Amino acid sequence: MTTLAPSTDLDFYSEEVILNPYDTYRRLRDTAPAVWLERYQVWAVTRYDDVYAALHDHRTFASGYGVALNDPLNEKMKGSALVSDPPYHDHVRGVMGGPLTPRALRKHHDYFQERADALIDHLLELGRFDGVRDFAQIFPLSVVPDLLGWPAEGREHFLDWASAGFQALGPMNERALRDLPTLKGMWEYMAEIVRPGRLAPGSWGAALVEAAEKGEVDKQLLPALIGDYLVPSLDTTVSALSTMLWQLGENPDQWRMVREDPSLIPNVLNESIRYEAPIRALSRYVTEDTEIGGIPLARGSRALMVYASANRDERHWKDPDTFDVTRSNANTHVGFGHGIHGCVGQGLARLEGHSLLNALVRKVARIEVGQPTWRVHNTIRAMTTLPVEFSA
């Protein structure tokens, strides 16, 4: 028996689909477990169980040939944790992931809480502010560069670099091409910043440089590894924090519940990342003939793991399009990925989110939000602006 592969000329990266993605994802889920996207020559995998299973089968669905939808970036990123396979991946993740484990981050808890409290006090004084710029961007930017050990100069480029890095993780379309010069600028900077002595002593960045000096990692790979700390840590967290504030403002009854029961805090962050997955999708290279739900995938093809669709799959979630901080299985979302490439920075992202929520619960009684405006971005579900008003 032969199965005809389901195939579509849908433009998965069109402005319409990016701005209003969830109807399209549902149609893809209802069509088949894997649907061939003709324009991008990739299988879209959109159901929760299939995405989960593929992420946990890293031999068949490999990352070492790249996770972007274009060859130049896949080539450029080789050697990073994101773009590698075991056994090298285990090694590199052990080296760069060490300081990011919840265990290692414990010593920073007080520092994060102080920063979060100061930010919320400041925003309460302002009263009205922009939730993206003044809350979601400013917090990660105030902690990550210091921990990484980055000197004062160059920091003004971080958000643009992170955005350009993720833009290029999609197809090489006009959006990605427009951002290429920014990305080239970042790579030049990275090559220079990894010279001994440039990154602050005792920082995560300096530790990597030392590891390279000792021969534990290849010096040539240092820029990609510093990139592992920088690029994936900003736009993603900014997206999650924006969604969190937006949805808490949209659902005052839920905000009241969280204030009354702060043990809900971890679930608020999980539900925010489930509801609007900050990373829409990344791809895998199929290393041997396989199948997904009966659809054959040939060796050498590519499969797109659509995290943002898995997180709304009605086969896994009850009322998937409803934001619900009491959702009992919110922690099963795949917004951080899952499996051996599951986000190595999730402890840091949680620490940032929980510190802010802790401060909010204590200080802010009412969160009022206006309509967000959305950015058209290849990989990140991102807002440009979100009007917010706090009252104590």
Partner 1 sequence: MDIHVDYARCEGHGLCEEVASSLFRLDDEGELVTLFDGERVPEGYEDDAMRAVRACPVSALRAQ
Stretch that binds partner 1, among 73-81, 186-194, 206-214, 330-338 (CB under 8 A): 330-338
Measured distance CA(164)–CA(236) in Å, rounded: 13
Of residues 336 through 355, those in contact with partner 1 by CB under 8 A are 336-340, 342-344, 346-347
Region of 30-38, 67-75, 98-106, 169-177 interacting with partner 1 (CB under 8 A): 98-106
User: What length is written for the chain?
Assistant: 392
Q: What is the largest CA-CA distance in the chain?
A: 68
**Phi first, then psi: what are they for 376, rounded to 5°?**
-95, 105
> Using CA atoms, how far apart are residues 241 and 126, in angstroms rounded to an integer?
19
207 interacts with partner 1 by CB under 8 A: no
Using the rule CB under 6 A, which residue among 345, 361, 372, 381 binds ligand HEM?
345
Helix (H) or strand (E) holding 15: helix 15-19
Q: Is 154 in the site for partner 1 (CB under 8 A)?
A: no
* Residue 6 or 154 with smaller CB distance to ligand HEM: 154
Distance CA 48, CA 317 (A): 9
Q: Check: CB of residue 343 under 8 Å from CB of residue 277.
A: no
Q: How many Cα atoms are found within 13 Å in the side-chain-facing hemisphere of 332?
A: 14
Q: Are 63 and 304 in contact (CB under 8 A)?
A: no
**With binding defined as CB under 6 A, does residue 275 bind ligand HEM?**
no
Asked if 362 touches partner 1 (CB under 8 A), the answer is: no
The 366-369 sheet, strands edge to edge: 128-130, 387-391, 366-369
Find which of partner 1, ligand HEM, none residue 106 binds, CB within 5 to 8 Å per kind. partner 1
Query: 208-234: string of b/e by CB count within 10 Å (b at 16+)?
Result: bbebbeeeebeeebbbbbbbbbbbbbb
User: Of the candidates 97, 185, 262, 370, which one interacts with partner 1 according to CB under 8 A?
Assistant: 97
- Dihedrals φ, ψ of 261, to 5°? -135, 80
The single residue among 56, 122, 178, 195 that binds partner 1, judged by CB under 8 A, is: 56
> Residue 228 interacts with ligand HEM (CB under 6 A)?
yes
| Site membership for partner 1, residue 173 (CB under 8 A) | no
- The entry of ligand HEM, partner 1, none near residue 72 (CB within 5 to 8 angstroms by kind) is none
- Min dist CB 100 to ligand HEM, Å, is 6
Residues interacting with ligand HEM, by CB under 6 A? 63, 67, 81-82, 93, 100, 228-229, 232-233, 236-237, 240, 273, 278-279, 282, 307, 335-337, 341, 343-345, 348-349
Residues interacting with partner 1, by CB under 8 A? 56, 90, 94, 97, 100-103, 106, 331-332, 336-340, 342-344, 346-347
